Amino acid sequence: MPIEITMPRLSDTMEEGTLIKWRVKEGDAVKSGDVLADVETDKATMELQAFDDGKIAKIVAPEGETLPVGGLICVLAEEGENVDEVAKSAGSGASSTKKAQGESKAASSESSTATAVAEPPPPEVSPGAPTAKTTSSGNIKVSPVARKIAEERGVDISRIHGTGPDGRIIKRDVLAAGEVPAPGSSNGNFTKTQSSSAAPKPTPVKLESKLIPVTNMRKTIARRLLESKTTIPHFTVTVNVNADPLLELRSIINKQLESQGVKLSVNDFVVRAAAMSLVHHPLCNTSWTDHGIQQHGTVNVGVAVALPAEKGGGLVVPVLHDTQNVSLRDISAETKRLAKKARETGLTADEMSGGTFTISNLGMFGVDHFEAIINPPQAAILAVGGANEKPVVRNGQVVVGHEMACTLSADHRVIDGAMAAELLQTLKELLENPAAMVV
């Protein structure tokens, strides 16, 4: 019988996806694992893969069309079936299928025989053949971003050797193929001085003016942040933490665990401290609802992860479930696993859902202090700055020490100022006496 391939749900916030580019055409034979199309979701641009063998009998969704989750994308004919008959049958049902899609954007995608996965990060550049690799059907293997750049710059992708996975042409391959060094330029910044009496003249900098299309992910981020700032009465409270004891204990533990390949980060301690603090202050581990304040029975800490530009940028928040019962070592391992998966292949809906509290850490970028926007329906988010060296007062003396600013953004409908202050007080005590988090 015909195999229907529909738009899968790839995150808890995803309602629709846009079919960016078809990699196959009607009549092509495909096998399980073959890439059928590029799909843009609210999180990133993903590859739609087949999980059944067959032939493309009918392409229902054209390039550029946005479909709700569960919307019909294409139909496969199984081995032994007449492709023309399957295509005719699919064509007669296409209009009714699209009508059903319009009536319910939340249609389930569990029956889909395809799923979408993000492209893995490119390996190091290595020399190879001068021409592009192609699929069995003759299509050139090229990422959507690389194809778009090539079209804009007039670069012939058939003459490019791809350095991506399995020879796929990626963004940097197209940029390298289109590079033309400026005559007389030096390091791309200043023209070479021709006379010792003449001052160096900077090379004119040209900036591109263009309208950047908004991806589904950016639309979702914009919608949720606007909703948060306009519907949630934010207020912020900040404490400065003496980070010297934390950094000292972290150094000792990491040295002891180095042979086991374990390396704890400052953020691992912050996650552990936040979970323990919320156990002591359960009214901060809550959500506002129309029926009352929902106090959660477990602490599920979300850790904000920034995606690289080649993945479309944006932010995802993988969730560590039952964090109050997780050790520092396990927090470190799970956080690393989820962050790596978020940047390489994308997270599942379960891995991004159920959060009751979020931590956003920009300290690794050298940021001293910032305020974060609450991630609804949660009632609070913790913004963590860097544990930076600075003049501090210790025992009445000005000395050099490390301080770290922790700022809580709270929903004032749920959390009062005193409650927020008490939560941060407990957090500060734990971070300044980190041995309590190890036992």
Dihedrals phi, psi of 228, to nearest 5 degrees: -65, -50
What's the Rg (C-alpha) of the chain?
Answer: 26
Domain presence at residue 364: yes
Looking at per-residue pLDDT, the higher value among 102 and 373 belongs to: 373
- Could you tell me if 308 and 167 lie in one domain? no
Domain presence at residue 84: yes
- Could you tell me if 177 and 251 lie in one domain? no
Domain presence at residue 188: no
Q: What's the pLDDT score for residue 203?
A: 83
Q: Please identify, among 66, 87, 117, the residue that sits at the C-terminal boundary of a domain.
A: 117
Looking at per-residue pLDDT, the higher value among 201 and 196 belongs to: 201
Q: How many CB atoms lie within 10 A of CB 299?
A: 24
**pTM for this model (two decimals):** 0.59
CA 164-12-58 angle, to 5 degrees, is: 60
Query: b/e map of 306-334 (b: 16 or more CB within 10 Å)?
Result: bbeebbbebebbbbbbebbebebeebbbb
Dihedrals phi, psi of 35, to nearest 5 degrees: -80, 125
Active site residue 412: yes
Domain presence at residue 388: yes
Q: Please identify, among 117, 141, 168, the residue that sits at the C-terminal boundary of a domain.
A: 117
Which of 121-135, 225-239, 248-262, 280-294 has the least mean pLDDT? 121-135
- The parent domain of residue 96 ranges over 3-117
**Closest to 252 measured CA to CA, from 31, 48, 434, 376:** 434
Q: Which residues contact 87 (CB under 8 A, 6 or more apart)?
A: 26, 57, 58, 75, 77
Mean pLDDT of all residues in 360-372: 93
| Tally of domains in the chain | 3
- Residue 2: both structure tokens together: 């015909």
The answer to whether 251 and 413 have CB atoms below 8 angstroms apart is: no
CA 63 to each of CA 7, 67, 125, 329: distance values in angstroms, whole numbers, following the listed order: 14, 11, 31, 46
- Could you tell me if 271 and 370 lie in one domain? yes
- Could you tell me if 138 and 246 lie in one domain? no
Q: What's the pLDDT score for residue 24?
A: 92
pLDDT digits (tens, 9 = 90+) for 215-253: 787 788 888 899 999 999 999 999 999 999 999 999 999
Q: What's the pLDDT score for residue 198?
A: 58
Residues of the chain above pLDDT 70, percent: 80
pLDDT digits (tens, 9 = 90+) for 36-69: 988 887 766 778 888 778 889 889 999 888 889 8
DSSP 8-state class, residue 169: B
- Could you tell me if 241 and 345 lie in one domain? yes
pLDDT above 80 for 100: no
- Could you tell me if 386 and 402 lie in one domain? yes
**Closest to 306 measured CA to CA, from 351, 365, 222, 376:** 365
Confidence band of 384 (pLDDT split at 50, 70, 90): very high
Considering 281, 296, 369, 412, which one is annotated as catalytic? 412
The answer to whether 48 and 16 have CB atoms below 8 angstroms apart is: no
